[in-house]
């Protein structure tokens, strides 16, 4: 069986751990993979831990006990978060993004893998101590953000739909009032989508009055789930009183001048 040099093991460790964030790898997995003693792997992990800290990539956490091992937790520093949010604001402020009717073109941003991965890392950083079982979002533009957040946290993504589908089996359907239009709408979720009494993180791409967010929270009550956090990419400054509280918003849309094609948007910095 092949023997590996330390620099080869370090490179492979970094690749394996960062490819699958928040997944616990046992020491036995690495001893067998590298044909090395456990003490050698322990020394390698110490080096990787220092490297990750130095580069501010996140945290390497070791877990003791029979079910223990090591995992990589992607985290972003306040400086990294601020720099990213300011860069996204610059993109959103581009004049050609204003669409007739007072809308903003966001598809390219919300479907950019690099962008939504960083949004996912921010939400994972903000809610890292909540012991989340599921990330929950609503179709459709919330899906990329939800998926990347779930990937970073290493938990399943649950998607609430506007209509029930035969392929999803028995569903729970609830009516909710859109906070922006005042219209009654319906959302649906398969009974098999999640276990009852789970801890969930609700994420969405946009919030105006909070009607959809409240609808998602009400849906979670049907599953006896505990909503331990809510993250929204963009919220509007008005109306000031939302239908939900206790949420984290990354960007604040303060106003839009359709005639001048000016978008006033700022990061919500803590």
pLDDT at position 177: 85
Tokens 């509007």 belong to which residue?
236
- The pLDDT confidence band at residue 193, using thresholds 50, 70 and 90, is very high
pLDDT 10s digits, 51-82: 999 999 999 999 988 767 999 999 999 999 99
- The pLDDT confidence band at residue 6, using thresholds 50, 70 and 90, is very high
pLDDT at position 64: 87
Burial group, residue 253, by CB count within 10 angstroms (0-12, 13-18, 19+)? buried
- In this predicted structure, the answer to whether residue 25 has a pLDDT above a threshold of 70 is yes
On whether the CB atoms of residues 237 and 252 are closer than 8 A, the answer is: yes
Name the DSSP class of 104: E
- The pLDDT confidence band at residue 5, using thresholds 50, 70 and 90, is very high
Buried b (16+ CB within 10 A) or exposed e, 136-160: bbbeebbbbbbbbbbbbbebebbbb
Direct distance between the N- and C-terminal alpha carbons of the chain, in angstroms, rounded to an integer: 52
pLDDT 10s digits, 94-131: 988 999 888 999 999 999 999 999 999 999 999 999 99
Mean pLDDT of the chain, nearest integer: 94
- In this predicted structure, the answer to whether residue 1 has a pLDDT above a threshold of 70 is no
pLDDT at position 179: 64
The pTM score is: 0.94
Q: Residue 33 CB: number of other CB atoms within 10 A?
A: 15
- Domains of the chain with bracketed CATH: 6-74 (1.10.10.10), 78-267 (3.40.50.2020)
Mean pLDDT, residues 17-21 taken together:
97
Burial group, residue 236, by CB count within 10 angstroms (0-12, 13-18, 19+)? buried
Among the residue ranges 13-27, 165-179, 207-221, the one predicted with the least confidence is: 165-179
Helix (H) and strand (E) counts in the chain: 8, 12
pLDDT at position 66: 73
Phi then psi for residue 92, to 5 deg, are -65, -30
| DSSP state letters, 239-260 | SSS-S--S-EEEEEEEEEETTT
pLDDT at position 180: 64
- The pLDDT confidence band at residue 155, using thresholds 50, 70 and 90, is very high
pLDDT 10s digits, 80-91: 999 999 999 999
pLDDT at position 67: 66
Tell me the C-alpha distance between 151 and 117, whole Å: 9
């Amino acid at each position: 069986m092949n023997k590996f040099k330390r620099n080869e093991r370090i490179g492979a460790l970094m690749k394996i751990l960062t490819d699958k964030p928040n997944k616990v790898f046992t020491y036995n997995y690495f001893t067998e993979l590298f044909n090395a003693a456990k003490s050698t792997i322990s020394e390698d992990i110490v080096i990787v831990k220092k490297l990750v800290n130095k580069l501010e990539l996140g945290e390497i956490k070791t877990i003791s006990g029979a079910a223990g091992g090591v995992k990589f937790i992607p985290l972003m520093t306040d400086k990294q978060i601020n720099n990213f949010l300011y860069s996204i604001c610059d993109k959103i402020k581009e004049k050609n993004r204003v669409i007739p009717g007072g809308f903003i073109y966001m598809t390219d941003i919300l479907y950019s893998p690099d962008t939504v991965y960083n949004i996912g890392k921010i939400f994972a950083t903000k809610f890292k101590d909540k012991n989340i079982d599921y990330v929950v979002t609503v179709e459709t533009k919330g899906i990329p953000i939800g998926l990347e957040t779930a990937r970073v946290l290493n938990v399943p993504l649950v998607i609430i739909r506007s209509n029930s589908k035969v392929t999803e089996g028995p569903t729970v359907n609830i009516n909710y009032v859109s906070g922006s239009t005042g219209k009654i709408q319906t959302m649906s979720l398969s009974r098999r989508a999640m276990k009852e009494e789970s801890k969930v993180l609700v994420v969405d791409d946009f919030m105006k009055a909070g009607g959809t967010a409240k609808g998602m929270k009400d849906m979670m009550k049907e599953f006896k789930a505990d909503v331990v956090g809510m993250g929204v990419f963009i919220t509007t400054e008005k109306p000031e009183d939302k239908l939900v509280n206790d949420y984290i918003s990354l960007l604040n849309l303060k106003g839009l001048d359709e005639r001048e094609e000016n978008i006033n948007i700022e990061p919500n910095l803590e």
